[in-house]
Structure 1
Amino acid sequence: MKKINLRELYPDVYTTDFFIDVTEEVMETIRAAERAEAAYERKMYRYKAQYSLDCENGIENAVLLKPQTPEIVLEEKQFQEQVYAAVMKLPEKQAKRIYARYYLGMTVNEIAEVEGVDPSRVRDSIRRGLKQLVKYFR
């Protein structure tokens, strides 16, 4: 068993020395982590890296994308409900086409094929419906 000082590992948590006994296995894991961190810092210094060397694990996204607060989630939900209600106030064909295009992710050609009409009619119908929606939210 080896003794380690937790203040050295966690200086923000332990303000005074706090020694504990750990197994060789745990000690080797701690040493491996320290070696990996030192190697990372050497790479950063050696290659004058201004970017992350470990771009595959999502650390950057976790830092950039802040967790949503309950207020933001509620506002987004209310906005989605308003948009859905506005879409349902459109004429039936336009509402179905906009719903298929933006909620179901269908292409204009797929919608036209299902309805058996020319794609330009579907495209124009969706465009007119979106113009009406813009007026609804102004």
Structure 2
Amino acid sequence: MKKVNLRELYPDVYKTDHFVEVTEDVLETIRSAERAEAAYDRRMYRYKAHYSLDCDNGIENAILLKPQAPEMLLEEKQFQEQVYAAVMKLPEKQAKRIYARYYLGMTVNEIAEVEGVDPSRVRDSIRRGLKQLVKYF
């Protein structure tokens, strides 16, 4: 049995030394994980890879993008419906401009070009509309 300092493995949890006896198999697993992490860091530094090196197999996406619970999906859908209803209560031009800006992803300049107006008018209209939306929530 070997002793392992948990503060070295989990510095954010253990602020002081805390020794635990582990078997040779566990110690070898810990050491191999440390070696693999060090090799990963070396590859990232060597190839200037400031992105994930395991992006093809989908593991990272599966961890980062966890499926939402049905309750969360329902709450999100209801919130989107409330926001849409609030936007539709605004004057027609403001509603169209906010819809184009935030739902369709158009820029202020693109909206102004389509409407044939100055971009500052569109920007001010959207700003006023957002202030009115705050009242609904």
Shorter-chain TM-score: what band? 0.5 to 0.7
Q: What letter is aligned with 1:62?
A: A
Distance in 1 between the 2:34 and 2:53 partners?
11
Quote how far apart the aligned CAs of 1:65 are: 2.6
Equivalent position of 2:84 in the other structure: 84
Distance in 2 between the 1:129 and 1:99 partners?
11
Equivalent position of 1:105 in the other structure: 105
Distance in 1 between the 2:84 and 2:36 partners?
55
Equivalent position of 1:56 in the other structure: 55
Equivalent position of 2:93 in the other structure: 93
TM-score norm. by structure 2 comes to 0.62
Partner SS for 1:73: helix
Distance in 2 between the 1:47 and 1:98 partners?
47
User: What's the CA shift string for 1:74-125, capped at 9, x where partnerless?
Assistant: 1110000000000000011100000011111111111111111100000000
Equivalent position of 2:35 in the other structure: 45
| The 10-residue stretch of structure 1 (53-62 or 65-74) with the greater mean CA deviation from structure 2 | 53-62
Quote how far apart the aligned CAs of 1:67 are: 1.1
Equivalent position of 1:28 in the other structure: none
Q: Which has the larger radius of gyration?
A: 1
Quote how far apart the aligned CAs of 1:50 are: 7.0
Q: 1:75 to 1:43 in 2, by over 3 A?
A: closer
TM-score norm. by structure 1 comes to 0.61
Q: Percent identity?
A: 79
Quote how far apart the aligned CAs of 1:62 are: 1.3
Query: How many aligned positions are there?
Result: 97
RMSD value, Cα: 2.7
Distance in 2 between the 1:89 and 1:55 partners?
47
Distance in 2 between the 1:62 and 1:103 partners?
27
Q: 1:126 to 1:42 in 2, by over 3 A?
A: same
Structure 1: segments with no counterpart, 5+ residues = 1-40
Q: 1:46 to 1:136 in 2, by over 3 A?
A: closer
Q: 1:45 to 1:136 in 2, by over 3 A?
A: same
Structure 2: segments with no counterpart, 5+ residues = 1-30, 45-51
Equivalent position of 2:117 in the other structure: 117
